[in-house]
Chains A and B, each alone.
Chain A
Amino acid sequence: MKGGGADDFRDSFFEECEELLEAMHDGFDQIANETHDSETIHAVFRAVHSIKGGAGAFGLDGLVGFAHHFETALEKVRSGEIEADYEVLELFKHCGDHLSDLVAAARDDEEVAQETAAALGEKLNEVIGFDPSEAEELPDFEPTTLDFGMLDLSAPPLPAGYVIAFTAHPELFGSGNEPLLLFRSLEKLGTLDVTCDSSEVPPLEELDPATCLLSWTLRIETEVDEVTLEEVFEFVEDCCEITITALEPAEGAEPYSLPDLGAEESVPFPEPPAETPDIAEDGDAPAGASEDSGDLGANHGEASADAAPPPAKAPAKQVKDTKEPKEKQEKQRGGGATIRVDLERVDKLINLVGELVIKEAMLSQSIAVLDLPSENDVSTGLESLKQLAGEIQEGVMAIRAQPVKPMFQRMARIVREAASATGKRVHFVTRGEYTEVDKTVIERLVDPLTHMIRNAVDHGLEDTETRIANGKNPEGTVILSAAHRSGRVVIDVSDDGGGINRPRVLEIARDKGLVAEDAELQPSEIDNLLFMPGFSSKAEVSELSGRGVGLDVARSEIQALGGRVAITSTAGEGTTFAISLPLTLAVMEGMVIDVAGQTMVVPITAIQETLQPRTVAIHRIGAQGRVLKNRDSLVPIVDLGASFQFRDEPEDLGDQVLLLIETENDRRCALIVDNIQDQRQVVIKSLETNYRRIDGIAAATILGDGRIALIIDPDSIVRDVSIPSDPTMQLMR
């Protein structure tokens, strides 16, 4: 299934898998947090079942096998036979992780270590009370294609079947699909007999090779239900005509039941396909089912196993009529109609809108030069155009915005893995998972966040004994939250561990020569030492009850996104890393300023206030240092022109303007600039992509007059500010 449209078909399956895995993880979270209802486990089961169904169509046997085994265990919970306690739930979560790995491996054509599946398989067997060693003695044993030694304990096969009428539209082939493969999948579900009507096919000279004039009648004898058959056609249902008609069951047999998926929650969900008919079909166990299958059949007591046989099937049913479970899932996710769009197209649109904003600024400037009367049609028209462009821009940005939820779910897995590795019990809490952030920001945040989450579990949380000794809950808590704040997104990683061991951190920093022996540092400054490159390697930090693994790397990655990280810690109570990020990497609100003849942009989010030097108190410290007294604290003054070596710092600040900026670390400084031009939205053009990274500069933009202006990076400016060493002065906070 390679090449062109077939790849699209495959891609679409894997995209569906992402959604299904998300639904599965959601379900586990709800069960863990006890916010679930009886539908939750059905939703999880459906998700795994659908992945299995799709994987079967692509011949992904490893995925099918594991999904089936997993689904069998889920069925035990679904039927109420076993309870989803902590241990079971943890196992299911690990199985969910492995299922995600298998999906990813299948997507990327990679191999997955068999050992994990085997180990999880054994644990699943324990959960479902299945002993492979006893299995062979059971009379109903039928070898299956699975690796796990699963058994067929189900009832004898029911003589049920269907007739499927199938006609392919041209789009079916255009999208890389192929009836042959669909029929091959069907063949795996039972005994298939295919009849082709080729009466419409003309001689070669009249044939359009791209139009399929064949139509098929497929008769299948199978134990699977109609929904499973429909799943084979799930990916082509929009480009074919398909009618599935149930055949009358053979005399003496119970009618083959089709679960009413739209009915009450106690109604069971369709069972796995016949190639792996390990579980008794819900509610359809015949009266003569063997004792061996009794335990499985009993599971379905609440599913009215003893109730009257379900009504006969409708004679014929369009596939779409039975798609309710999926639609229900969609509704539960709160999603309406959606389309999949190639990201490249969205990015192109974003670029074009960026250009539109630049052109609009240029037009504004040209009109300003014309010196038109203040109330003129051109300016009014331009104003409307600006508003429209702004709305378009907002709309386009919203397309790229995605909830952070899938990323948070990945982090849940990191927590589980770190907890397993360290032997700690961790309660992972996520908040604000529907907060939307630019897709690229989300993608690039995965690595730094992974570092921080691992760090929180590994080094932030104390071990269980220590927690108990300190009178804390033996189970540590890690909270990952996201929220929009002042045009940025703030993501916090908090733990309720012992907090940063500051004396130890300071000691290490001194040993490594990162701070002077006699340096007096504020707590927040000590905390920030953890971000210093070279502060620690894993080996050294593991001796430390603090933290430090890869944090310098994590911070650089976040800074590269235009973000900032702040750290707060309280001894005995825990530590919080607060990441503040721009909502998008495409535009930002900036203040356009002049300095030493250059036009530059300062991100508006960093600016606290603008001040006239004449009206404020400025003190000298030492030979060159100057500080600004602002609300009972002293703030160092930096000349932006001098910091970029455009000029020497001006002595007299009479004509200049001070921009008071603050970073996430609560560090502040006042920048000397010559003039403020304007405050406006600027389109961000990456310097790194187009040139290279320059310290102190975050990016560039194009101004209305077509010139390029550099966007300054306030964090790196403040970071480089040397703190006046006058002991009489209190440091800026």
Chain B
Amino acid sequence: MSSTLTLAPRLDSPAADALARELAEARGAAIRLDAGAVTFCGALTLQLLLSARRQWQADGHPFEMDAPSQDMTDACRLLGVSPEDIGILHETGEPQ
């Protein structure tokens, strides 16, 4: 069983709380995050995604981010976070 979570376009600091709750609810199974619509991802949300992936790894479930938008990968680059660390396997918006 796996679930897909579509990320909101604006993932700024105030958005981190809500996303944390959504992620917490999705625990216990594989998850795919759809980051295609993300236009902004701030440091707190990126940290949350890092933390979530660590949680999923610890739980032994897959954690993947699909088709991240350019803004999403840009945020990773500017904040010095490796895309793999938040489950991005392919950096283009095209599914591979």
Contact = CB atoms under 8 A, between A and B. Distances in A.
A209 B54 contact: no
Contacts of B51: 201-204, 207
B38 to A, nearest CB: 12
Contact of B78 (A183, A198, A202): A183
A180 interface: yes
Interface residues on A, range: 20 to 34
Interface of B: 12-14, 16-17, 19-20, 23-24, 27, 40-44, 46-48, 50-52, 54-55, 58, 75, 77-81, 85
Nearest to A202: B51
Q: Main secondary structure on chain B at its contact with chain A?
A: helix
Interface in A163-214: 168, 173, 176, 178-180, 183-184, 187, 192, 194-196, 198, 201-205, 207, 209-210, 212-214
Nearest to B43: A179
Contacts of A202: 51, 54
A336 interface: no
B13 A173 contact: yes
Contact of A209 (B16, B58, B75, B80): B16
A233 B85 CA distance: 27
Nearest to B27: A204
Contacts of A334: none
A699 B14 CA distance: 46
Given A180-B41, A198-B85, A209 B48 contact: yes
11 contacts: A173-B44, A178-B43, A179-B79, A194-B78, A201-B50, A204-B55, A207-B20, A207-B47, A207-B48, A209-B20, A214-B79
Contacts of B24: 204-205
Contacts of A201: 47, 50-51, 54
A144 to B, nearest CB: 23
Given A4-B14, A202-B54, A213 B78 contact: no
A3 to B, nearest CB: 7
A216 B80 contact: yes
Given A178-B43, A180-B75, A216-B79, A203 B55 contact: yes
A701 to B, nearest CB: 45
Contacts of A213: 47
Given A179-B43, A205-B24, A209-B19, 14 more contacts: A168-B43, A180-B40, A180-B41, A187-B78, A196-B79, A196-B81, A198-B81, A201-B47, A204-B27, A204-B48, A204-B52, A209-B16, A209-B44, A213-B47
B41 to A, nearest CB: 7
Contacts of B43: 168, 173, 178-180, 212, 214
A201 B7 CA distance: 21
A512 B76 CA distance: 75
A216 B42 CA distance: 14
Nearest to A184: B78
Contacts of B27: 204-205
Interface in A194-248: 194-196, 198, 201-205, 207, 209-210, 212-214, 216-218
Contacts of A212: 43-44, 47
Contact of B80 (A195, A204, A205): A195
B22 to A, nearest CB: 11
| Those 9 A-B pairs whose CB atoms lie nearest each other, nearest first | A196-B80, A194-B80, A204-B55, A203-B55, A209-B20, A207-B51, A209-B16, A173-B13, A179-B43
B18 to A, nearest CB: 9
Nearest to B13: A173
Interface in A1-37: 3-6
A178 B78 CA distance: 12
B52 to A, nearest CB: 5
A367 to B, nearest CB: 54
A194 B79 contact: yes
B79 A183 contact: yes
Contact of A198 (B23, B40, B47, B77): B47
Contacts of A6: 12
A180 B54 contact: no
A205 B23 CA distance: 10
Contacts of A204: 20, 23-24, 27, 48, 51-52, 54-55
B16 to A, nearest CB: 4
Nearest to A187: B78
A194 B44 CA distance: 16
Nearest to A205: B55
Contacts of A209: 16-17, 19-20, 44, 47-48
Contacts of A176: 13
Q: Taking each of B12, B43, B81, which has the highest tally of chain A beta carbons within 10 Å of its own beta carbon?
A: B43
A203 B58 CA distance: 8
A167 to B, nearest CB: 11
Nearest to A194: B80
B48 to A, nearest CB: 5
A214 B47 contact: yes
Interface string A116-156: 00000000000000000000000000000000000000000
A3 B42 CA distance: 14
A204 B16 CA distance: 12
B81 to A, nearest CB: 5
Given A201-B50, A204-B51, A204-B55, A194 B77 contact: yes
Contacts of B81: 196, 198
B59 to A, nearest CB: 8
Nearest to B24: A204
Contacts of A214: 43, 46-47, 79
A22 to B, nearest CB: 33
